[in-house]
Amino acid sequence: MTEHVLSVALDDAYRLITHGPTVLVSARHSGVDDVMAAAWACALDFSPPRLTVVLDKITRTRELIEASGEFVIQIPTVAQARLEHEVGSRSLHQDPDKLQNCGVELLRFDGFDQPFVAGASAWLACRLIPEVRNQETYDLFIGEVVGAWADARAFSDGRWRYEHADPVWRSLHHVAGGHFYTIGDALDVPLTQR
Amino acid sequence: MTEHVLSVALDDAYRLITHGPTVLVSARHSGVDDVMAAAWACALDFSPPRLTVVLDKITRTRELIEASGEFVIQIPTVAQARLEHEVGSRSLHQDPDKLQNCGVELLRFDGFDQPFVAGASAWLACRLIPEVRNQETYDLFIGEVVGAWADARAFSDGRWRYEHADPVWRSLHHVAGGHFYTIGDALDVPLTQR
């Protein structure tokens, strides 16, 4: 399952989310794992790499993050569209078997005791930077990326390779309800000569 | 130029940016207008609609926003890819004719004294919610959306219509340098029956 997974340099980690994909957020605390969907995740800094993610107070994942101080952001693929939508529509509060019922399989990465969702195109292991006012007032969480990996079939040499990959590897971009767009064509813009 | 521009209900404003497009940020203060590119903008709340945007301290646009307490987020199109990259590569500090040199034309919307970039697919007029710690520590700015508009050729009845529109209307999703992806195909995911 992990034969194609490569480590990504932390200085390149922002490239995994700068194009604005919908993500999966996962966390672990005291033997409990949860995974949720989040459309509102965004890069915040290059070095150290940081990101923001909006986490509603009703989610069990948020509670696990607040308790553990850690979380994982992963970039789901077209092949995971149903999984993305299912984990975003069920709560571990109501369904203790949520992950199994949503078809989530977890991976282990050496040195990180966090739940990584198998089949994603990339994973960013984050340490929560506690900012109580942001969390309480805006549901806004800041993480520092402390580990990054990608599936080489979708991302290699510091770049997404969507234009060369099987379309099932494309990222998801949520609009509302179960309505998504996938990422599309590459577009390279040369600067005008000065 | 504005014959296709329709007002968007504030409760639908989050739908304009939830799919993670790269944006143009514009601001006006004391007769000075500037426009910059930003890949790191994100929805923050539904109602009232709020968003975040990361603004580097070196940008003139940030100074104008801090002085005026207002800014506009607009969603550029494939047809504006060069404009997007040019305004992101030049500074008003060095080039007082930056907007003209980048081919930026401005629109007026009644009741809003802010610079709206012509040709965009959508515009979100924002009031800065001052959060000094976020601004100084993380370059992170929060805005409340107080007006929203879209070009009906790209967005209507509360939804993006990329799958039916001319491809020049598609949104841009930045990766690094002058390398973008455009938004791609629609993907609708039905939930499993419970």
| Structure confidence by residue, pLDDT tens digits, A3-44 | 999 999 999 999 999 999 999 999 999 999 999 999 999 999
Q: Show the CA angle centred on residue A123, arms to residues A109 and B17, nearest 5°.
A: 165
Q: Report which residue type is found at A77.
A: T
Please tell me whether residue A21 adopts helix, strand or coil conformation: coil
pTM over 0.80: yes
| C-alpha span between B153 and B157 (Å, rounded) | 11
Q: Does A106 touch chain B (CB under 8 A)?
A: no
User: Are residues A183 and B180, on separate chains, in Cβ contact within 8 Å?
Assistant: no
List the one residue out of B74, B78, B1 whose CA is nearest residue B38.
B74
Q: What is the pLDDT of residue A190?
A: 80
> What's the distance, CA A35 to chain centroid?
10
| C-alpha span between B42 and A42 (Å, rounded) | 6
User: Are residues B84 and A190, on separate chains, in Cβ contact within 8 Å?
Assistant: no
Q: What is the pLDDT of residue B177?
A: 86
Q: Does B78 touch chain A (CB under 8 A)?
A: yes
Strand partners, B93: none
Chain segment A139-171, per-residue pLDDT in tens:
999 999 999 999 999 999 999 999 999 999 999
Q: What is the pLDDT of residue A124?
A: 98
Which residue in B85, B89, B162 is closest to A181 by CB distance? B162
Q: What is the mean pLDDT of the segment spanning A91-118?
A: 96
Q: What is the pLDDT of residue A192?
A: 63
| C-alpha span between B111 and A77 (Å, rounded) | 43
Residue B128 contacts by C-beta under 8 Å, 6 or more apart in sequence?
Answer: B65, B66, B69, B70, B71, B141, B142, B143
DSSP 8-state class, residue A69: S
Contact between B122 and B16 (Cβ < 8 Å): yes
List the one residue out of B29, B13, B6, B16 whose CA is nearest residue B114.
B29
Domains annotated on chain B, with CATH: 5-182 (2.30.110.10)
- Chain A positions touching B170 (Cβ under 8 A) are 184
Quick one: which H or E segment has residue A81? helix A81-87
Q: Does A80 touch chain B (CB under 8 A)?
A: no
Q: A154: which 2 tokens?
A: 């979708």
Q: What is the pLDDT of residue B137?
A: 98
| C-alpha span between B53 and A146 (Å, rounded) | 23
Which residue in B162, B180, B188 is closest to A187 by CB distance? B180
Q: Does B98 touch chain A (CB under 8 A)?
A: no
Q: What is the pLDDT of residue B1?
A: 62
User: Are residues A138 and B50, on separate chains, in Cβ contact within 8 Å?
Assistant: yes
| Average pLDDT, consecutive stretches of 10 residues, N- to C-terminus, chain B (194 residues) | 91 98 98 97 97 97 98 98 93 94 96 98 98 98 98 97 97 94 94 59
Please tell me whether residue A101 adopts helix, strand or coil conformation: helix
Q: What is the pLDDT of residue A188?
A: 94
Q: What is the pLDDT of residue A110?
A: 94
Q: Does B9 touch chain A (CB under 8 A)?
A: no
Q: What is the pLDDT of residue A1?
A: 62
Contact between B122 and B75 (Cβ < 8 Å): yes
Q: Report which residue type is found at B7.
A: S
The structure tokens 């939830």 sit at: B18
Task: Spell out where chain A has E strands.
Answer: 5-7, 23-29, 32-38, 41-45, 50-54, 70-75, 106-109, 112-117, 122-129, 140-151, 155-156, 159-160, 172-176, 179-188
Q: Show the CA angle centred on residue A111, arms to residues A105 and A117, nearest 5°.
A: 15
User: Are residues A185 and B182, on separate chains, in Cβ contact within 8 Å?
Assistant: yes
Contact between A54 and A188 (Cβ < 8 Å): no
